[in-house]
């Protein structure tokens, strides 16, 4: 299905490149996700690395979503400030970062703050704090986490958490590598991974170690995880953590079931700046605008499936058109759908918010970037 750009009045005066967030589509995508989760917002722990904006976090909260996870301490701070009651920093906290997390937890006592560990050596940084700890597992992505086998090692770490006077919060199992599985095999392979995970949970329970929560499923694994039955009734909360579904991009829309009805909610508005050849134009959307980490092409030109973006420079995006096709006029606007929306949002300081076909205002990308390396008043 060809995706067409939204019809929005007033965008011709915008300085480009501009990040556009369609708030109506955001609300629609949140509703779709909650419907797929059986109407139960407690099953969703969205990853806020995508949402980034306090405004979007408030839309999630308005949908009844109380729990979240994030990747940076700035995202954690923003989520706590926006009223999430339970937030996991789903990234290994090393060096001075545990102290930052502990400080945030102290400032927001109404939010349950948690972190990840994968080895007993990581526990000392959390002693004496209210921060709960999830054991990070390696589901085969081999990015972070400890192996699921042998289960005795996971059990030993869970017990060590309790012996250190800390709260064992559960297991974190991020199967983001599911995006590399071919679509017909994806659900089967996700299910096989969850069978191993369930066996681990049963092994821990058999040894007298209760598992309060299991967190799985980024966006690629989400369809396969939706109906995994074995955690239901097993005395463990199984929460799913897709985040890209709030905005969507070219990648997620190809992985999610079309019948679900997800819509793109984030675009980059770009202008044609040059005609360097008879079958090529250039627009102002290089890799400092649209993230290039998903490979070429970095984006799709909405409403023009025959336009093929080429490898970008920092501020330039060349686009080829079929021979004999007229080039769009210099200065004309193009709506770009990112290949990967999460880092694209992070490229911008501000987002233009649209709703009802009109520009509603400008919002700061609240959790863009990170906290500074040190507080200037304190010195390094």
What is the model's pLDDT at position 188? 79
Q: What is the pLDDT of residues 12-51, one digit of tens each?
A: 999 999 999 999 999 999 999 999 999 999 999 999 999 9
Q: 16: which 2 tokens?
A: 């480009």
Q: Which of 72-86, 99-113, 219-233, 363-377 has the lowest mean pLDDT?
A: 219-233
User: Is residue 67 classed exposed, middle or buried when 0-12, 13-18 and 19+ CB atoms within 10 A define those classes?
Assistant: buried
Instruction: Answer whether 87's CB lies under 8 Å from 68's CB.
Output: yes
- The mean per-residue pLDDT over the stretch 240-246 comes to 97
pLDDT recorded at residue 3: 82
d(CA 336, CA 19): 10
Each residue's pLDDT tens digit, 97-134? 999 999 999 999 999 999 999 999 999 999 999 999 99
pLDDT band (50, 70, 90) for residue 180: low
Please report, in angstroms and rounded to a whole number, the separation of the first and last CA atoms in the chain.
54
Could you give the 3-state DSSP secondary structure of residue 44? strand
Quote the pTM value.
0.95
- Work out the percent of the chain whose per-residue pLDDT is above 70: 98
* Integer Cα distance of 172 and 139 in angstroms: 10
Name the token pair of 350. 């501000």
Give pLDDT tens digits for 281-324.
999 999 999 999 999 999 999 999 999 999 999 999 999 999 98
**254-268 mean pLDDT:** 94
Query: What are the structural domains of the chain?
Result: 45-241 (3.20.20.10), 266-364 (2.40.37.20)
Taking residues 242-264, what's their average pLDDT?
Answer: 94
- Position 1 pLDDT exceeds 60: no
Question: Residue 301: phi, psi to the nearest 5?
Answer: -90, 110
Q: Which residues of 338-365 are buried (b: 16+ CB within 10 A; e: fewer)?
A: bbbbbbbbbbbeebbbbbeeebeeebeb
Q: Are the CB atoms for 259 and 252 separated by under 8 Å?
A: no
């Amino acid at each position: 299905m060809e995706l067409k750009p939204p019809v929005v009045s007033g965008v011709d005066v915008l300085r480009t490149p501009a990040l556009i967030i369609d708030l109506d589509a955001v609300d629609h995508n949140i509703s779709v996700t909650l419907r797929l989760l059986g109407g139960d917002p407690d099953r969703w722990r969205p990853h806020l690395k995508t949402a980034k904006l306090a405004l979007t976090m408030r839309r999630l909260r308005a949908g009844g979503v109380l729990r979240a996870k994030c990747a940076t301490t700035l995202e954690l701070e923003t989520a706590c400030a926006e009223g999430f009651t339970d937030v996991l920093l789903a990234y290994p906290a090393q060096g001075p970062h545990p102290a930052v997390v502990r400080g945030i937890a102290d400032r927001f006592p109404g939010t349950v703050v948690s972190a990840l560990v994968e080895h007993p050596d990581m526990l000392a940084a959390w002693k004496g704090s209210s921060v709960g700890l999830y054991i990070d597992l390696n589901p085969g992505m081999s990015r972070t986490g400890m192996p699921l086998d042998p289960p005795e090692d996971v059990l030993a770490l869970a017990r060590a958490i309790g012996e250190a006077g800390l709260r064992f919060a559960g297991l974190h199992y991020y199967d983001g590598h599911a995006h590399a599985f071919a679509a017909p095999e994806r659900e089967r392979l996700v299910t096989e991974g969850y069978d191993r995970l369930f066996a681990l949970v049963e092994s821990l329970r058999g040894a007298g170690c209760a598992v309060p929560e299991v967190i799985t499923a980024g966006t690629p694994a989400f369809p396969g995880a939706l109906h995994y039955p074995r955690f239901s009734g097993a005395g463990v909360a199984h929460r799913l953590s897709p985040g890209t579904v709030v905005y969507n991009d070219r990648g997620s829309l190809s992985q999610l079931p079309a019948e679900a009805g997800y819509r793109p909610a984030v675009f980059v508005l770009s202008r044609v700046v040059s005609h360097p050849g008879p079958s090529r134009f250039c627009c102002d959307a290089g890799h400092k605008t649209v993230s290039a980490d998903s490979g070429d092409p970095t984006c799709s030109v909405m409403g023009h499936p025959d336009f093929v973006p080429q490898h970008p420079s920092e501020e330039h995006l060349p686009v080829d058109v079929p021979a004999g096709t007229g080039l769009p006029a210099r200065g004309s606007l193009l709506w770009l759908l990112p290949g990967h929306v999460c880092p694209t949002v992070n490229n911008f300081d501000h987002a233009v918010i649209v709703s009802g076909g009109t520009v509603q205002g400008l919002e700061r990308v609240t959790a863009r970037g990170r906290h500074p390396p040190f507080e200037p008043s304190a010195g390094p």
